[in-house]
Amino acid sequence: MSVIRPIIIDADGVVQLLDQRLLPFEESYVRCESAEAVAAAIQAMVVRGAPAIGVAAAAGLARGSQSLGEDSFDDGFERLCAIMGESRPTAVNLFWAIERMKGVASADHASAAARVAALDAEARAIFAEDIAINRAIGSHGETLVGPGAGVLTHCNTGSLATAGYGTALGVIRSASEAGKNIRVFADETRPYLQGSRLTVWECQREGIDVTLLPDSAAGHLIASGAVDLAVVGADRIAANGDAANKIGTYQVATMCQRHGVPFYVAAPLSTIDRSLPDGSGIPIEQRSATEVTEVFGTPVAPADVPVFNPAFDVTPAELITAIITERGVLRPPFAAAIAAAFAADSTA
Ligand code: MRU
């Protein structure tokens, strides 16, 4: 058992981020001394995964607030929030964390120093809560995993994608901790390879049996009967349960439905965007052509080919068997289940 620490908030508020671009080959941290540095790190994928992006953003805003003057605090903090909000568009946890930090910044405080202290405490609370939430997701989700199950997952949703433990990979971890002897199948997750670089690395460190497959083999694997369930994370879930997640998730869900395999989404309530009635309004990040035309800097396609490289897709709610949250396992119809989960959680 090893502890993976993707985000470290130092005593002075400096944010250290495990550089996920270098994994699994090198473990080193990027030191972020400002909110701008954290925003740049999110944009550059030093840190990625919806909950981790939110936690890092909160920590970055807390650190950035230290350099704001008493008289210009409000304007300065607003500017830092705007910079942070520009870093990546799809994961709603980013905007959720910014709003939570704004709420603290705008509360009554005796001085800028008191405001800074409150922001620091809030960022650390968001960090700690995220780990507790993931553990709750894990224990709810683990009940859905039978002994010896074959579990397919897509992208990386583990410790690296959160403050620690993970969402979908947290379910897998909980099942493994419960001694269920599961077998994990990890899609490589082209083009950024979060599955092969990150999920396989995490599973191997945790002693979880993992087999890597190309994304294009998932349908064949599911059809073979080797997969008892699929569990993935989410970057933004609409009020009706439509769920945006890493590109390729929709294909996995479709193949699961065709073969009668349960398809689960594991995510905290902070990933649910109730302002969107369905998934059609979820902004989908488009990423650079070179992620597809090159592999680690080596060309694998004619350089001038037009490229379609969306980072996420939306799985319609009707393909989702259940959404595993810290409030329990939500079943269709999701609109009512999501509303009830929020009603039961006044902090969400
Ligand atoms: O582009 P990424 O690596 O940030 O995308 C991550 C995902 O799509 C994850 O599945 C999602 O954020 C859930 S992480 C617990």
Each residue of 111-129: pLDDT tens digit? 999 999 999 999 999 999 9
Ligand 1 center to residue 235 CA distance, Å? 6
90 lines ligand 1 (CB under 6 A): no
pLDDT in tens, 153-185: 999 999 999 999 999 999 999 999 999 999 999
Q: pTM of this prediction?
A: 0.97
**Banded model confidence at residue 1, pLDDT cuts 50, 70, 90:** low
**What residues have CB less than 8 Å from 45, skipping those under 6 apart?**
20, 21, 192
Domains of the chain and any CATH numbers: 7-134 (1.20.120.420), 144-346 (3.40.50.10470)
Res 260: pLDDT: 98
CB 229 less than 6 A from any atom of ligand 1: no
Looking at residue 303, its pLDDT comes to 85
Decide: 159 in ligand 1 pocket, CB within 6 A: no
Residue 195 scores a pLDDT above 60: yes
Active-site residue (options: 120, 235, 273, 313): 235
Ligand 1 atom with minimal separation from the 232 CA: 10
157 Cβ below 6 A of ligand 1? yes
Question: 316-344, pLDDT tens digit by residue?
Answer: 999 999 999 999 999 999 999 999 999 98
- 235 has catalytic annotation: yes
